[in-house]
Structures are given as C-alpha cells and as structure tokens.
Amino acid sequence: MSDRHRLAMAVSALALGLACPALADSIARTAPNVIDAPGATSITLPLKQNGGAWPSGHVQGVAVDVQGGYIYYSFTNLLAKYDFSGKLIGTLVGWTGHLGDLDFNPADGKVYGSLEYKEDKAFYIAVIDVSRLDRVGVEASKTEIFRTVYLPEVVSDYSADLNGDGKFEGDDGKFRGDVVASPDHRYDCSGIDGVSFGPAFGHTDGPRYLTVAYGVYGNTRRTDNDHQVLLQYDIADWARYASPLTEAAPHHHGPAAVDGKYFVRTGNTSYGVQNLSYDEAQQRWFMGVYRGQKPSFPNYGLFAIEARERPVLADLIGVPDPGGKGWEQGQLLKLADDGLKNAATGVRGWNQKADVGSQPVGHGLFYFSVNAKSEGLQTADLTLMRWTGDAQKPFVPVRAEDLRDPMRGPVAP
C-alpha cells in the first residue's frame, strides 16, 4: 500500500467517524442521505443534492458554506442558494454575462465567482453577499448584494494583438464564428473560469489569496496554449473597487496589478481550468478541466499542484519570447507527483470529471457536480465523495455502507 493511499484511508476514516465512535453513532442515527460535517457536529452534509431545474445555462460551479449549511450553484446566468436539507432559499438573476466557477470565502461570508463579457472585453469577479439572498428572483442590477471587480490583467491577455496586424481578432472580429482559430489572445486566453481561495503558491499557511484561472481556447494548432494560467490577488482592499455592474456601460474599477501570475504545463485543455479548488486536508490545489484534444498530451480531466511547491522562473515551452529569443519565461508550478503519469510528457493527473462543480469540504471529502438537461431545463446533481488515493479511481461516493466500514475502498495501486 502506498503512502498516499494510507493517507487517503486515514482522512476518510477520520471524516466518516472511525476515529470517534460517538460521531460514528451520531452519523448512524441520522437520515441515510446525510453525514455530519467535519468539525461541525450540529450540521449535516447531504450525501446527494439536486440543484433544481432552470431555464438557464448549464451548471458551471458550486460553492459550499459548511458552517452555515448552504450550497450555491452557478447556472451561468442564475445563482441558486439551497440549504443542506435541499430547501431552495433564493435565486439571483438578471445578467447576460457568463458566471462561471464559485468559491465561498468564510472570512467575509461572500461568494466569489468569475464573470465574463467577452464582446465588451470585460472580465470581472462577482462578489455576492449571499447572507442577504433570501428569496427567489432577486435582480442583480436592483440589489446591493451583487458587486463586481474588474480584472485588467485578464483583459490585457485576452485582447492582445499577437500577430501584429493592428487589430484584435476575437469574438467581435472576423473569427466571430470560430474564435478558436483566432491568431490573437496571449496564451490563447479566452477569459476566466476557475476561482478559489488558498495560500500563496509555495506556502501552506499565511494569508489566503483569491486565485483566478484563465479560460484557454482549444486551438490544437497553436503551441502557446499548453499551460494553465493562474492569477493570485490579495483582496483586502477590494471594497474600494467593488461596483454595481451596468451592462450598457461596463465599469473598469479593479486592481491594476496582480499579486502573482503562475503557469502550469498540463497540455491544452478546452477552455482552461473550469473548476479550481484548494483542499486544506491535503494542502493541494485541484484543477478540473474539459479534456483537451491534442493527441500529444494525455488529456486528463483533473490535475493537482502541491501548495508547498515553490514556483520557479523557467521557460514556458511553446510560448514564443516577445523579443524573438527562444521561449518566454514565467513563474512555473510543477504538477503534483501523484495520479496517472504520461511517459512521453511527464504530465500527471486523473481521469476524473471535475469540470462543472467540485468543492472540498474537509477531511478528504469533496462535492462533485454532474450537469444534465431535460425538457429545456438545466439541472445539477451533487454527490459527496471521498478521496481514495487510487490513481485509477481517486474519488468514490460516500455510501451508507461506508458508515459501517469506513476503511472500504479500492485496492491500493
């Protein structure tokens, strides 16, 4: 049995009550579809939950307030708030942009999400005071609970005129019908998607930064789009930027500079990191993606970075240096030495779906969402899963039998 598998079994056992018989007894007495939240014995985590059916875009991401007992679903142009019992508490509506991945910030009780307006070359972090979301149909433009912060760094890369023809050829140019074929967009940036709070890269402690992942177009003929791009922001002073969003005249209030810009070589993925999350239990960042299409890469669905892994200034292979001398250099992060490994590229990861909602909730437990559509309505099915450490099957659903036998799991690799 590998050390990583032993760790997985240990954290799963802890989470499921093996280390505390009283907790195990408490779990056994609860309804079969809930489990006590780690560190919060008065709160139960649902083993499964459905995010409702909505005339909206598909689910993009989820956020979980473990202590408060709420789950938030981003349905592209609608935000839904449910409590752990499955009761709908409220919805936020009324924007035409693309609301993507979400994360809950326990420091201020707000949900943060990526928000895109490609045609306006405007990219924001939506800051939502979800404690005040208490009814269905709240209009974002008519409430103070919805604010946005502009990200000029993203705009600069997205709108970069790489081929030097004096015009930006993007969603509003001649490649409108096939934006993937555009020669522009630095790093083939398509905007932003994944968001999460966690420590500065290279650390497991210290202040938490909002980390924002680029979307990246899936042009299989380009070589400059094989890295994930991650920005880190200290949001301590973001109250001065947070502004109402007027879609007819998008504002440009936001931090002029990032607190860190990092690159991870995974091979191209379709639209970059869809879901980004930081797991305190393993001290790891997880990146869920739509699988890439380049045959030279393994095209895994999930990648990880160790939090303690220090970034190193290195060549960004495939990204031409602006001065014409070799490759551009950037702060490079190494993938975690875990999971499946592609011998040809050295890329490591897992064949795990984690692209429309993934969120760690402590002690090796994660929520994963699966999207579906029926009769024109979008829905999301959320499942509580536990980390196994198995390269072939890194997560398995938490089941009633796990409460009786928490050490149950796949055979160690």
- pLDDT tens digits for range 186-238: 999 999 999 999 999 999 999 999 999 999 999 999 999 999 999 999 999 99
Amino acid at 272: G
Task: With a cut of 50, say whether residue 1 has pLDDT above it.
Answer: no
Report pLDDT for 170. Answer: 78
Give mean pLDDT, residues 99-110. 98
Interatomic CA distance for residues 14 and 363, integer angstroms:
7
Give the largest Cα separation in the chain, rounded.
Answer: 69
Report pLDDT for 324. Answer: 86
Report pLDDT for 278. Answer: 98
- Angle (CA) 347-349-350 rounded to 5° is 145
Interatomic CA distance for residues 298 and 79, integer angstroms:
34
On the 0-12 / 13-18 / 19+ scale of CB atoms within 10 A, 93 is middle
**CATH architecture under which domain 49-384 falls:** 6 Propeller (2.120)
Interatomic CA distance for residues 125 and 114, integer angstroms:
5
Task: With a cut of 60, say whether residue 23 has pLDDT above it.
Answer: no
Bridge partners of 125?
A: 114, 149
Report pLDDT for 44. Answer: 85
Report pLDDT for 323. Answer: 86
In the DSSP assignment, the letter for residue 76 is B
Average pLDDT, the chain: 89
Confidence of residue 409 (pLDDT cuts 50, 70, 90): very low
Report pLDDT for 178. Answer: 75
Amino acid at 240: R
Confidence of residue 34 (pLDDT cuts 50, 70, 90): low
Q: Are strands 40-46 and 284-290 parallel, antiparallel or unpaired?
A: unpaired
Cβ-contact 360, 370 below 8 angstroms: no
Report pLDDT for 180. Answer: 79
Task: With a cut of 90, say whether residue 28 has pLDDT above it.
Answer: no
Tokens of 248: 């007819």
Give mean pLDDT, residues 54-82. 98
Residue 29 backbone dihedrals phi, psi, to 5 degrees: -85, -15
pTM of the predicted structure, to 2 decimals: 0.90
Bridge partners of 305?
A: 285
Amino acid at 195: V
Tell me the per-residue pLDDT of 273-317, one tens digit each, with 9 for 90 and over: 999 999 999 999 999 999 999 999 999 999 999 999 999 999 999
Cβ-contact 378, 387 below 8 angstroms: no
In the DSSP assignment, the letter for residue 243 is B
Q: Which of 153, 139, 238, 242 minimizes the C-alpha distance to 197? A: 238
For the chain, the helix, strand and coil percentages under 3-state DSSP, each to the nearest 5: 15, 45, 45
Q: Which residue has the tokens 């502009």?
A: 150
Give mean pLDDT, residues 34-55. 80
Interatomic CA distance for residues 169 and 233, integer angstroms:
29
In the DSSP assignment, the letter for residue 334 is P
Report pLDDT for 126. Answer: 98
